[in-house]
Structures are given as C-alpha cells and as structure tokens.
Amino acid sequence: TTKQLIMSEKLAAIGEITAGVAHEINNPVAVLQGNLDVMRSLLGDRADIARTEIRLMDEQVGRINQIVTKLLQFAKPEEYAGFVERHDAGSVIDDCLPLVQHLLNRAAIEVKLTHTATRLIVMNRTELQQVIVNLLVNAIHAMPGGGTLSLTDQDMARDDEPGILITIADTGTGMSADVMERIFDPFFTTKRREGTGLGLSISKTLIDRQGGSLDVESTPDDGTTFYIWLPEAN
C-alpha cells in the first residue's frame, strides 16, 4: 500500500542519515581513544595520578562506540550481516546460547529449551541472532539472583498467515506498566550507565521489517515473556 511505501521510504531515509552521523562520530571517537592510550603510556609509572579520570573517559568512549556500532548495524544492516536466507529458528536459537553462556553461569540460571517449529522463516541470520541475544541478555539481567529461562519455538499462524513463534520467558523482576509502555522507545533504559536503551527498539524494527512482530507480557516480581512472530518462508 501507499502508506507502507511511504513508511519504508522514511525508514530508508532515516537509515541513511543515521549511518552518516554514526560514521562521522566514529572518527573523532577514534582520535579520543588513541589519545587516551597515548596519555596512559606517557604517564607510565605516574599513571596513578589520573587513573580514575582516564578510566572514566575510557568507559565513556567505550559507551559511545557501543551506541554507534548498534546504530550502524541498524541503519546499514546489509554491511554488517549476510543475506536474507531461509532458516530453521531452532538452530538460530541454539547458536545464540553459547554467546551468553558465561552470563548464564554467573547468575546460576537454568535454561529450558523446547524446539517444535517445523516451518522455515526468512530472515538475515545475523539480525535474528542479534534480536535473540538482546532478549536473552535482558532476561539474564532481570534475574540477578538466578531463575529459569525458557526458550521455545513453535509453528503458529497469525491472522491465518502461517509462521512461527519464538518465546523467551524469564522468571525475573518483571516490569511495571509504566516501564513496559516505553521499552521499545529508542534510548529508553532503566539500567543507567550499563544500558544503551537501543536493544529493544532496534530488535522491534528488525522484526517488523521482515513482516513479523515483537510483543511482550510482563508481571512485576514474576517475570517477562517476549514473543517473536515471523512469517513462514515462501
């Protein structure tokens, strides 16, 4: 439809602008990072004098880098990932788990995996992994005292359209209605310095682009479930 066309043109324009800005930010940040390294080596034995200040600057430069990388992945996905292909969701999920294994161990989290989907989906594998890893890391953050992470994939139709549903459920802190209303907003985070607030907004856009949907249910003190629905590959 015309509306969808305008939307996708707008998205493309935003992508171009974002990619341009992110590239421009990259250069000065690289200069800052390089000079911090030089300063550290110049200080040598006397590094104690400014250790805290340098560490703080280092951390903040790291943070800018993280935000810029995420923006670039989002704005120019084709440069950062392979092509759109047919995948079995279960194998993509399986590939994501080793990437967060160290976090799972640290927080003593039990993982329950249930693969039943038989339909294939069309998506860029790296992007789908990025979305799932985002959701896994959020789920783990929500269970600092341990808990259960349930991951399932199953065949499921939406409005008569065949597809698959991936659910990622945690038994963590859950969210208030106020927080839940804003989680898909760019830069919204409750994690202060550790969060970028980009994970969910980018994840939602990536899934929407494939004609899918990303939804959430959450109960404070009880846990959160994210639902990724994707259409079946033709």
Encoded amino acid at 217, one letter? E
Stretch that binds ligand ADP, among 39-47, 60-68, 76-84, 195-203 (CB under 6 A): 195-203
- From candidates 195, 211, 217, 227, binder to ligand ADP by CB under 6 A: 195
Part of the chain binding ligand ADP (CB under 6 A), chosen from 13-21, 78-86, 107-115, 194-202 = 194-202
Query: What sign for the dihedral angle of Cα 32, 37, 43, 48?
Result: positive
Residue 177 is encoded by which pair of tokens? 């209605």
Beta bridge partners of 230: 164
Pick one of 54, 188, 217, 233: the residue that binds ligand ADP (CB under 6 A): 188
> Which residues 115-154 are close enough to bind ligand ADP by CB under 6 A?
134, 138-139, 142
Decide if residue 207 touches ligand ADP (CB under 6 A).
no
**200 token code pair:** 């969910």
Which residue's CB is nearer to ligand ADP, number 188 or number 227? 188
Distance (Å, whole) CA 197 – CA 204: 12
Q: Would you say 120 and 88 are in contact if contact means Cβ atoms under 8 Å apart?
A: yes
Nearest approach in angstroms of CB 35 to ligand ADP is 28
Which of 221, 218, 228, 56 is CA-nearest to residue 151?
Answer: 228
Residue the block writes with tokens 């038989």? 118
Indicate the DSSP class of residue 219.
E
- Which CB sits closer to ligand ADP, 3 or 193? 193
Residue nearest to ligand ADP (CB): 199
| CB-side neighbour CA atoms (13 Å) of 188 | 12
Cα–Cα distance, 194 to 103 (Å, whole number): 15
By beta-carbon proximity to ligand ADP, the closer residue of 54 and 225 is: 225
The stretch among 45-53, 93-101, 106-114, 165-173 that binds ligand ADP (CB under 6 A) is: 165-173
The nearest distance, CB 188 to ligand ADP, in angstroms, is: 6
> Are the beta carbons of 111 and 98 closer than 8 angstroms?
no
Whichever of 174 and 231 has its CB closer to ligand ADP, that residue is 174
Residues of this chain that interact with ligand ADP (CB under 6 A) are 134, 138-139, 142, 170, 172-173, 175, 179, 183, 188-191, 195-201, 224
